C-alpha cells in the first residue's frame, strides 16, 4: 500500500480530537499581507477556509488591502499625506478605499472560496450596520474606530452554511459617513462582538519573539503588557498585540498571531497538537473543552 496514503490516513486520525473540539466554534481570520497578491497563496488560503467550514467550524474572513489601495491612489494621482506615520483619509481617499476593499479585494476572496467548493458572501461593515464607527483621530479624517457592532447578519450566514468575507469599511453615526478601519482592528471588533473562540491574525512574521529571538508560543495579557513595557514587543507588533488584548477583554477565548506565509497556517493552528505562531489567552477563560 502507498506510504503516502497511510501517512494521510494517520494525519486525519490524529486530527480527530481537534476537529471535535472546534465543531460549532467561531473563528475570525484576519487575512492580509503578501498572500493576497499571489494567486496560489490565495487559493491555498481559500481551501483551508472551506475545509474549516466543512468540518463544522464557523469561519469569518476579515481582510485588508493596503497595497491595492496604494496602487489605485497612485494611478488616480491622489497624493497620500501622513500624520505620525498614519495615512490621512480625506473624502477622495475614502472613496478609493471603499472601491478597492469592497469591490476588487473582497470579491476576489469570495471567488477564491467559491472556486474551492465553498459558499461565501462578501460584505462590508456598512452592511446591516455591522460596524458603526466614530473618528479614530480627527487629524486622520475618515479613519474609524468601531463603537457599535451588529453581528446578527454574520450569525444568519453561519446558519445558512455561508462563509462571511468582511471588508473593513464602516458606517458612521451619520448616514452619509464612510470610514476606513484598520483590518486588525476590524477583525478584533468582530471577534469580540461574536465572542469568538479564536481570532487568527495572519501576518508576514512568525509571531511574537522573546529576547532570544525565538517565537513565544503561549502568552497571557500580563505577559504582553510586560514585554511591551520592556521594549521586547515593539514596532508593528504593538498594534497587533493591542488588538489581541482588546479582543480578549471583550470575550474572545484566544488570539493567535500567525505567519500567514506558512502553508496551511490556519489548519496547523486549529487541528494539530503544537499549533503555530503566538497564542495570547487570558488565564480567566479556559480553552475549548478537550
Task: Give the pLDDT confidence score for residue 63 in this predicted structure.
Answer: 96
Q: Is residue 104 part of a domain?
A: yes
Residues 6+ away with beta carbon under 8 Å from 112: 42, 43, 45, 46
Task: State the Cα–Cα distance between residues 113 and 46, nearest whole angstrom.
Answer: 5
Supply the DSSP symbol for 100: I
Position 290 in a domain? no
226 is in an annotated binding site: no
Closest CA to 277 of 34, 51, 29: 29
Has 235 been labeled as part of a binding site? no
The answer to whether position 274 is within a domain reads yes
Q: What is the pLDDT at residue 171?
A: 95
Could you give phi then psi for residue 179, rounded to 5 degrees? -125, 140
In-domain check, residue 6: no
Q: How many CB atoms lie within 10 A of CB 143?
A: 24
Rounded Cα distance between 145 and 180, Å, is 9
**Structural domain includes residue 288:** no
The answer to whether position 119 is within a domain reads yes
User: What's the domain count of the chain?
Assistant: 1
Q: What pLDDT, on a 0 to 100 scale, did the predictor assign at position 289?
A: 46
Q: 128: exposed, middle or buried (C-beta count within 10 Å: 0-12, 13-18, 19+)?
A: middle
How far apart CA 142 and CA 50 sit, in angstroms, is: 34
Give the pLDDT score at 2: 61
Q: For position 290, what pLDDT does the model report?
A: 40
Query: Which stretches in the chain have pLDDT values below 50?
Result: 289-290
Q: Is 150 annotated as a binding residue?
A: no
C-alpha cell of residue 167:
471588508
Instruction: Supply the DSSP string of 6-31, one letter for each residue.
Output: HHHHHHHHHHHHHHHHTTT-EEEEEE
180 assigned binding-site residue: yes
pLDDT in tens, 169-186: 999 988 789 999 999 999
CATH number of the domain at 108, please. Answer: 3.40.1160.10
pLDDT at 12: 67
For residue 35, the model assigns a pLDDT of 66
On whether residue 84 sits in a domain, the answer given is yes
| pLDDT the model gives residue 11 | 67
What is the extent of the structural domain holding 165? Answer: 22-281
Q: Which three cell numbers stand for residue 247?
A: 479582543
Residue 44 in domain: yes
Say what the pLDDT of residue 284 is: 55
If you ran DSSP here, which 8-state letter would residue 210 be given? -
Amino acid at each position: 500500500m502507498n506510504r503516502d496514503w497511510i501517512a494521510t490516513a494517520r494525519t486525519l486520525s490524529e486530527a480527530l480530537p481537534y476537529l471535535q473540539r472546534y465543531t460549532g466554534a467561531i473563528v475570525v481570520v484576519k487575512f492580509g499581507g503578501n498572500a493576497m497578491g499571489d494567486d496560489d497563496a490565495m487559493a491555498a488560503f481559500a481551501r483551508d477556509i472551506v475545509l474549516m467550514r466543512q468540518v463544522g467550524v464557523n469561519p469569518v474572513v476579515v481582510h485588508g488591502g493596503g497595497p491595492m489601495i496604494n496602487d489605485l491612489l497612485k494611478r488616480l494621482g491622489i497624493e497620500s499625506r501622513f500624520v505620525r506615520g498614519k495615512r490621512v483619509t480625506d473624502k477622495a481617499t475614502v472613496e478609493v478605499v471603499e472601491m478597492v476593499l469592497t469591490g476588487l479585494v473582497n470579491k476576489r476572496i469570495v471567488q477564491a472560496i467559491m472556486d474551492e467548493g465553498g459558499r461565501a458572501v462578501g460584505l462590508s461593515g456598512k452592511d446591516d450596520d455591522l460596524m458603526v464607527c466614530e473618528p479614530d483621530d480627527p487629524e486622520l479624517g475618515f479613519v474609524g474606530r468601531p463603537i457599535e457592532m451588529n453581528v446578527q447578519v454574520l450569525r444568519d450566514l453561519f446558519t445558512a452554511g455561508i462563509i462571511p468575507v468582511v471588508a473593513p469599511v464602516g458606517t458612521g453615526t451619520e448616514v452619509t459617513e464612510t470610514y476606513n478601519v484598520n483590518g486588525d482592528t476590524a477583525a478584533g471588533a468582530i471577534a469580540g462582538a461574536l465572542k469568538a473562540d479564536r481570532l487568527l491574525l495572519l501576518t508576514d512574521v512568525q509571531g511574537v519573539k522573546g529576547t532570544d529571538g525565538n517565537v513565544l508560543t503561549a502568552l497571557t495579557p500580563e505577559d504582553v503588557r510586560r514585554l511591551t513595557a520592556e521594549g521586547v514587543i515593539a514596532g508593528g507588533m504593538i498594534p497587533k498585540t493591542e488588538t489581541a488584548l482588546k479582543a480578549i477583554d471583550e470575550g474572545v477565548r484566544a488570539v493567535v498571531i500567525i505567519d500567514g506565509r506558512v502553508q496551511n497556517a490556519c489548519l496547523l493552528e486549529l487541528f494539530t497538537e503544537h499549533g503555530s505562531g503566538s497564542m495570547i489567552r487570558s488565564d480567566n477563560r479556559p480553552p475549548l473543552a478537550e
